[in-house]
């Protein structure tokens, strides 16, 4: 898990997408207005999924996204 300022997170997502397009990218955001803006920016940058702190089961989503990638490769 990376805790980055939004600009750095978006840049990291874009770089991962450019260099490793098959690697699942998950964004983990706060459940507030700033988190919603961050989630939208991360999705625009290429994140596959957005998880909301305190609402989503991180491990279940990780397993699901990984299984989806395996089925499509």
* SS3 sequence of 30-64: CCCHHHHHHHHHHHHHCCCEEEECCCCCHHHHHHH
Tokens found for residue 58: 């991180």
In 3D space, the residue among 16, 8, 44, 43 whose CA is nearest the CA of residue 52 turns out to be: 43
Question: Are 30 and 53 a contacting pair, CB within 8 Å?
Answer: yes
pTM exceeds 0.95 for this model: no
* Sequential pLDDT tens for the chain (73 residues): 456 688 888 999 999 999 988 888 889 888 888 888 999 999 999 998 899 988 988 888 888 887 887 766 5
């Amino acid at each position: 898990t990376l805790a980055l300022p939004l600009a750095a997170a978006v840049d990291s997502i874009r770089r991962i997408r450019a260099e490793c397009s098959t690697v699942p990218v998950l964004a983990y955001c706060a459940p507030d207005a700033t988190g919603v803006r961050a989630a939208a920016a991360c999705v625009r940058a290429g994140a596959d999924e957005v998880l909301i702190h305190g609402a989503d089961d991180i491990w279940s989503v990780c397993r699901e996204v990984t299984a989806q990638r395996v089925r499509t490769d």
